[in-house]
Structure 1
Amino acid sequence: MYDAVVIGAGPAGLMAAEELARAGRRVVVFEAKPSPARKFLMAGKSGLNITKDEGREEFIAAFGDGFLAPMLEAFGPAQVVIWARGLGQEVFTGSSDRVFPKAMKASPLLRAWLGRLQGMGVELRSRWRWAGFEGEALRFDTPEGAQIVAPKVTVLALGGASWARLGSDAAWVPWLVEKGVEVAAFRPANMGFAVEWSAHMAKHFGAAIKGAALHVGGRVERGEFVISARGVEGGGIYAVSKDLREGAALVLDLMPDVSGEEVVDRLGRMRSSETVVNKLRKLGLSPAAVALVMEFGRGVPVGEAVKGLAVRLAGPRPMDEAISVAGGVTQAAVTEGLELRAIPRVFVCGEMLDWEAPTGGYLLTGAWATGRWAGIAAAAVGR
């Protein structure tokens, strides 16, 4: 009989495996893909943002309803930094208090981590795809055919429903639901939004809008976003994506450091015969920002359009394009140790759980914190 099994070799699953091994359990990690942590590696291609250097209360508040609060108290930004340094990965704090490994990429950290896990006796089996339950046992599709595994304790770290090509395809949902586990419907999070552009916008696809203030549902966020053929996306949009998903309007202040009165005064000093495009250029707007005003501000006084441009969105982009998801195994479905109430000795962690956080270091810290929490609780089973 297997002792401790972890299904899913992403950040949450590997962290659960580490805690199980540290507690003396014999651990096998099963991964459906040919190699581990594919989404983790993809996320780190443009710079691996592992956490955010900010106050404890502010950091935890970014996760919303407090579901993850005890886990983040135990493994928050300070602990993430210590853990990374323990793997020989020095870190630094960049702009907006985001924390990165000095190597910037995910691969050096992952290699060091896998090496440590191997040294702790953790076995990793690739191309073992979980295929549901066989009674109380686990069924896997493997290169050698179907395999049945009956561990003493199991940790599920199968991801959510975004980036299916990297392994997070939510195929596990019906198997847990059949066992009586409550799973909230998945929704995209940290995603772009579709816009039905007119033809003149095509030449601006790929252009960034910098320095704007995004007014959404009573909130104001400063951030950069990109105009794409599909709509609008990027950090500024992701920061307000939850409110936009729930129906709030997007209004842009394209000159947030200049008062409305000053904008009107500057416009008033320009020749009345000048075109709107020329006036916008003289205000200092980029060509892409000018195009946005022309796209959404026709019929609105120029000053009002610059300071309060209502952008017409056509809904969120598909979930498989989202960086993360909301929804998953509900808080009511698990114990304080993240054990499934309906399936004893089975624990869940990572994006399988129903929590949502913005980009900027929160997502990885949340995955690690829940994996650690589940691993510690699972290690105590049968002891």
Structure 2
Amino acid sequence: MAAEVLAQGGARVTVYDAMPSAGRKFLMAGRGGLNLTHSEPLPQFMTRYREAAPRLQAAIEAFSPDALRAWSEALGEPTFVGSSGRVFPKAFKASPLLRAWLRRLDAAGVQFAFRHRWSGWDGEGRLLFRTPDGASAADVCGTVLALGGASWPRLGSDGGWVDILAAKGVAISKLRPANSGFTVAWSDLFRDRFEGQPLKGVALTIGAHTVRGEAMITRSGIEGGAIYALSAELREAVLGLGQATLTIALRPDLDAAALTRRLSGTRGKQSLANFLRKAAQLSPVGIGLMQEAAIASGRSLAALSPAELAQLINAIPLQLTGTAPLDRAISTAGGIAIDELDEHFMLSKLPGVFAAGEMLDWEAPTGGYLLQASFATGVSAGTGALEWLKR
């Protein structure tokens, strides 16, 4: 995006990419359907960026979700709004959009230099790169850094830039997993039976934060959309306390009284699991979670009264013991402190050097917010760099 803005402004632009081809992380983002942005009203949209929202506001207003949709359509990829409010290209994939984009950049004169891994500056201020043919240097008038976080190292986002910028005195918040899964000490029986099973229509709560949605049991813990939406709160609790308690409501639309009435009937010869499945419409994995919680509390699920079962159904305590590794996370929290950048995303300690995307210290849930801010900060950094060149 920065290259496009600069080229349209008349600058000669080269994109240096550590990978053998362009847009590899962009293609990965579209693997299950390219969620470009979200259709919700902008005031609500901005709240998804949490404490970074005030610093991202101008960039996202300047290149809004509507502007991003128009940009995609101009490349021959019209968009549609899904049932969840998420916005996708009608082709649903990233590859047609990327191909059209690269053709337009080529027509604008943008050059690409692949397998060029940036390694800093030399004594004369030239950019240094490691390439298969050895070291190379580039004398430039302005630089936009868009090196990503550290959650996709095999696609180039390995956080290798942190030490380079820190050595220049740039303040950088520690890179941490965002939109990540969490580890749970499952019993062997639960893990072997329910690994890969979804929890649908649940409500997840930590503190004052509740999210409705789905989650997925993994061999080492739990992940999924509803988990990702709470990942910041869960992560900070785990980092601060060593663990976090996530409360799971399996039937959030039924209160305790309604569930108690359903569970007060005669069970007869049914197993407890079959009775819970029929009376409360619980899935096997949900019943398994209840059994895990009962065992952890030193009680038997069969010994609980209808009222106690009803309470447990909508308040299963799940102890999260850690975060999934950063290289398994969808995105990255932390990065260049926002206060290190001016309103044009130029680094105050490095005049003429701009930064955009996940390098910056912001995070957002999945749903189109990650790509939207990456696009918008790219536009702003490109605009700032163009103004710098014109000086």
TM over 0.5, shorter chain:
yes
My pick for the range that moved more, 268-277 or 337-346, is: 268-277
| Structure 1 position 318, deviation (Å) | 0.6
Q: Any conservation in 2 of the 1:297–1:309 contact (CA below 8 Å)?
A: no
Map 1:179-328; keep pairs closer than 5 Å.
179-201=168-190, 202-247=192-237, 249-271=245-267, 275-282=271-278, 283-298=280-295, 299=299, 301-328=308-335
Aligned to 2:241: none
Aligned to 1:361: 368
| Structure 1 position 163, deviation (Å) | 1.1
Q: What is the rounded CA distance, in whole Å, between the counterparts of 1:279 and 1:133 in structure 2?
A: 68
Q: Would you say how many aligned residue pairs link Structure 1 and Structure 2?
A: 369
The answer to whether residue 73 in structure 2 is matched with residue 103 in structure 1 is: no
Map 1:154-165; keep pairs closer than 5 Å.
154-165=143-154
Scaled by the length of structure 1, the TM-score of the pair is: 0.94
| Structure 1 position 307, deviation (Å) | 1.1
The answer to whether residue 164 in structure 2 is matched with residue 175 in structure 1 is: yes
| Structure 1 position 260, deviation (Å) | 1.1
| Structure 1 position 275, deviation (Å) | 4.3
Give me the CA root mean square deviation: 1.3
> Gaps (5+ residues) in structure 2?
238-243
| Structure 1 position 229, deviation (Å) | 0.6
Aligned to 1:49: 35
Scaled by the length of structure 2, the TM-score of the pair is: 0.92
1:73 partner letter:
E
Aligned to 1:11: none
Map 1:21-100; keep pairs closer than 5 Å.
21-65=7-51, 66-100=54-88
CA deviations 1:68-127 (Å, max 9, x no partner) are 111111112111110100100011110210000111111000000000000000001111
Q: What is the rounded CA distance, in whole Å, between the counterparts of 1:336 and 1:91 in structure 2?
A: 30
Aligned to 1:131: 119
Q: SS where residue 125 of structure 1 aligns? A: strand
Q: Any conservation in 1 of the 2:35–2:86 contact (CA below 8 Å)?
A: yes
My pick for the range that moved more, 269-278 or 91-100, is: 269-278
| Structure 1 position 297, deviation (Å) | 3.2
Q: What is the rounded CA distance, in whole Å, between the counterparts of 1:290 and 1:77 in structure 2?
A: 41
| Structure 1 position 274, deviation (Å) | 5.2
CA deviations 1:301-329 (Å, max 9, x no partner) are 21111011011111110111000011100
Aligned to 1:114: 102
- Name the % identity: 47
Map 1:344-355; keep pairs closer than 5 Å.
344-355=351-362
Map 1:9-20; keep pairs closer than 5 Å.
15-20=1-6
Q: What is the rounded CA distance, in whole Å, between the counterparts of 1:314 and 1:71 in structure 2?
A: 37
Map 1:334-345; keep pairs closer than 5 Å.
334-345=341-352
Q: What is the rounded CA distance, in whole Å, between the counterparts of 1:297 and 1:239 in structure 2?
A: 27
| Structure 1 position 294, deviation (Å) | 1.0
> Gaps (5+ residues) in structure 1?
1-14
Q: Any conservation in 1 of the 2:173–2:337 contact (CA below 8 Å)?
A: yes
Q: Any conservation in 2 of the 1:64–1:357 contact (CA below 8 Å)?
A: yes
CA deviations 1:211-266 (Å, max 9, x no partner) are 00111221221111111112111101101111111115310110011111010111
Q: What is the rounded CA distance, in whole Å, between the counterparts of 1:313 and 1:61 in structure 2?
A: 26
| Structure 1 position 276, deviation (Å) | 3.2
